[in-house]
């Protein structure tokens, strides 16, 4: 049984471009506070220093070290940013906002492809552009381009794969599949979390088996899986270092603790930090109830997952699985390295945005005959948007304080010395 082709044309392209323009404007307004920010993270200066090394020798694009993930595509793009933007941090943030808006549009397209609900697709995209579930850290740090890029490639890979299977006949030689394979191979040149794409493909093949008429492990999937295996083996053979190896854990206490904590953090992001300490008495009072709120939140997540798998449609089941699959790679690292970094929730939060949107729209449909009451469910995503704005505001203040700290000031001075020395030598030549 072959999937029926779905026509697209100039009207669809125009509507997508207009919707992207809206998303970009909303993202600019939401993240307007970063306009005055400087390079505040030590990693920003590592990236800038790496760009200087690439300028001296292009082979530095493929550099790998104990503290440095093998991500040549990210290195290359950041180098191009450096050549275009120099030391103007606002342009880096603006580029992050642009890619974030592209990702929000891709969220809309992926949800629409699987669910065919315009309302849920639009609301999912809006929740994502307002950083619900990830709270914007990936956008508000220059080095967040790595998270934005892997998310864009993940969404492109899956979107093209889904369209090929559901709308284009599922041919191995189609441009849709070749595009999906190409995006997947590019994702392997970023973070190793790109392997979660395979997990998402497996659950798609399982849940949409009736629509595609194929086995779960059909030839299209196997081609991508073999490509992933070849790249993985090549990395293990030729890379001199495995970053984060000393903090890697297998299945154990830290794994399950991280797993639950990351899921809770999407819904209840408040944890004790200098951000909370300076946020006022209301936030501090809420934090005193943090343990009870976290337990309740985790139980709600589990119950919603079980309920969704039993009674939900295929798309809802897929995005529940998406959330669990994409969060898993980040759970294999113990404290203090990579401990509950909300940047890691950027990709994971796509599933949360879709589930929140679908729950809202379906609840509203149940109240369709109740006049104004049918709009009450929309107060829930509105609360999450306001929460996201609150968190990003306080994160921005926190990042400004970090930028002025002695540690970052010293790091900045060291980089400027390296920067001046390199360009002074070039001028002398």
Please report, in tens digits, the pLDDT of each residue of the chain (429 residues total). Answer: 444 445 555 668 899 999 999 999 999 999 999 999 999 999 899 999 999 999 988 888 887 654 456 789 999 999 999 999 999 999 999 999 999 999 999 999 999 999 999 999 999 999 999 999 999 999 999 999 999 999 999 999 999 999 999 988 899 999 999 999 999 999 988 876 778 999 999 999 999 998 998 999 999 999 999 999 998 888 777 776 665 555 556 667 778 888 888 888 888 876 655 555 555 676 666 767 777 888 888 898 989 899 988 888 999 999 999 999 999 888 876 655 444 577 889 999 999 999 999 999 999 998 887 778 889 999 999 999 999 999 999 889 889 999 999 999 999 999 999 998 887 766 555
CA 11 to each of CA 7, 14, 18, 335, 372: distance values in angstroms, whole numbers, following the listed order: 11, 5, 11, 50, 33
* Token pair recorded at residue 199: 């997990």
Is 29 a member of any domain?
A: yes
Is 6 a member of any domain?
A: no
Is 146 a member of any domain?
A: yes
Provide the total of helices (H) and of strands (E) in the chain, helices listed first: 18, 0
Is 309 a member of any domain?
A: yes
Counting every residue, how long is the chain?
429
**Domain tally for the chain?**
1
Closest CA to 325 of 262, 403, 270: 262
3-state secondary structure of 258: helix
Is 7 a member of any domain?
A: no
3-state secondary structure of 65: strand
Q: How far is 253 from 404, CA to CA, in rounded Å?
A: 37
Is 97 a member of any domain?
A: yes
- Do 27 and 129 touch, CB atoms closer than 8 A? yes
CA 154 to each of CA 22, 138, 418: distance values in angstroms, whole numbers, following the listed order: 23, 16, 35
- Give the pLDDT of residue 274: 55
Is 178 a member of any domain?
A: yes
What residues make up the domain containing 42? 12-428
Give the burial class of 84: count Cβ atoms within 10 A of its Cβ; 0-12 exposed, 13-18 middle, 19 or more buried. Answer: exposed
Q: pTM for the complete prediction?
A: 0.90
- Give the pLDDT of residue 425: 66
Is 1 a member of any domain?
A: no
């Amino acid at each position: 049984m072959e999937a029926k082709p779905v026509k697209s044309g100039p009207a669809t392209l125009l509507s997508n471009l207009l919707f992207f323009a809206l998303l970009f404007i909303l993202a600019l307004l939401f993240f307007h506070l970063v306009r005055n920010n400087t390079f505040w993270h030590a990693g920003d200066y590592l990236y800038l220093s790496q760009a200087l090394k690439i300028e001296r020798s292009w082979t530095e694009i493929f550099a790998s070290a104990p503290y440095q993930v093998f991500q040549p595509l990210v290195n290359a793009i950041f180098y191009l940013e450096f050549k275009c933007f120099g030391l103007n941090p606002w342009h880096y943030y603006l580029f992050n906002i642009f890619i974030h808006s592209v990702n929000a549009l891709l969220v809309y397209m992926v949800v629409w492809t699987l669910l065919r609900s315009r309302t849920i697709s639009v609301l999912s995209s809006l929740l994502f552009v307002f950083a619900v579930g990830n709270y914007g850290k990936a956008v508000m740090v220059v080095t967040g381009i790595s998270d934005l890029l892997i998310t864009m490639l993940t969404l492109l890979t899956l979107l093209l794969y889904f369209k090929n299977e559901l709308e284009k006949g599922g041919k191995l030689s189609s441009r849709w599949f070749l595009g999906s394979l190409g995006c997947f191979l590019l994702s392997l040149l970023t973070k190793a979390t790109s392997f979660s794409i395979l997990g998402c493909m497996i659950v798609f093949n399982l849940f949409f088996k009736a629509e595609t008429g194929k086995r779960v492990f059909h030839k299209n999937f196997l081609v991508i899986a073999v490509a992933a295996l070849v790249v993985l083996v090549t990395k293990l053979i030729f890379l001199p270092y495995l970053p984060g190896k000393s903090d890697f854990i297998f299945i154990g206490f830290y794994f399950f603790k991280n797993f639950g904590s990351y899921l809770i953090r999407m819904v209840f992001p408040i944890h004790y930090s200098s951000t909370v300490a300076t946020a006022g008495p209301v936030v501090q009072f809420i934090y005193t109830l943090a343990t009870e709120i976290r337990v309740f939140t985790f139980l709600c997540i589990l119950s919603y997952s079980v309920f969704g798998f039993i009674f939900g449609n295929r798309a809802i089941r897929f995005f529940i699985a998406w959330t669990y699959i994409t969060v898993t790679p980040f759970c294999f690292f113990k404290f203090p390295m990579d401990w509950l970094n909300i940047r890691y929730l950027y990709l994971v939060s796509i599933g949360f945005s879709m589930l929140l949107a679908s729950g809202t729209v379906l609840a509203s449909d149940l109240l369709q005959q109740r006049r104004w009451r049918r709009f009450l469910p929309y107060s829930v995503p509105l609360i999450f948007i306001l929460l996201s704005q609150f968190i990003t505001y306080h994160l921005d203040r926190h990042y400004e304080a970090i930028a002025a700290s002695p540690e970052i000031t010293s790091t900045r001075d060291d980089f400027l010395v390296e920067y001046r020395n390199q360009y002074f030598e070039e001028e002398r030549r």
